[in-house]
Amino acid sequence: MILDNRDSFTYNLAESFRKIGVKDVRIHNSNNFRIELLADYERVIFGPGPGLPEDHPLMFEILDSLKPHQSVLGICLGHEALAIHFGGKIRQLKRVFHGDEGKIRWKNAPDYLSKNVQDGFLAGLYHSWIVDEANLPEEIRITALSDEGLIMGIKHIDRPLFGFQFHPESFITKFGLQLLSNWYYQSL
């Protein structure tokens, strides 16, 4: 399931999952999703979107309703929501990234998440907010950083909850399909 937070990249995500062999990709609009539908899914994507995570309260309701076996991958806005849900904070950057290319370095990534993805891979960046390392909750571990030292990946220490600040579905991200495949096929 992909939660559409009113962003056109949602459809790029859906197509990326089809390319890695996922036959049944369902997109649910955040405006009309009923929480009881969550039980139908083992894997949930929080897609990117405009504004701040607080503008999209459904992501927090879903996180409160997850069963231990359900895995979440938050992308950009969804990544930020994961950190905030567990007590983290985000901060606004002085620079806006919009279709920029950045190098991503692994740090404490689960082996399966980084499998066949080189350290220092190029990724598409589309953000102006970032998870603040100074306020990172104990339950959250950094899995990837940019060359500037900005948090580009996180993981919950006990649950299959992951976030990428960068966009794996972007054509700029060189290992995007591999990253999505690693999460989809190995995260449970």
Q: For residue 79, indicate whether it is catalytic.
A: no
Angle at 130 (CA atoms; ends 140, 144), nearest 5 degrees: 55
Angle ∠(162,29,113) on CA atoms, nearest 5: 15
Distance CA 15, CA 80 (A): 23
> Could you say which of 28, 56, 85, 167 is catalytic?
167
Integer Cα distance of 60 and 83 in angstroms: 11
Q: Among this protein's residues, is 76 annotated catalytic? A: yes
Q: Which of 76, 85, 139, 156 is catalytic?
A: 76
Residues 140/151, Cβ–Cβ less than 8 Å = no
Cα separation, 174 vs 121, whole angstroms? 7
Active site residue 28: no
Classified as helix, coil or strand, 42 is coil
Task: Return the active site residues.
Answer: 76, 167, 169
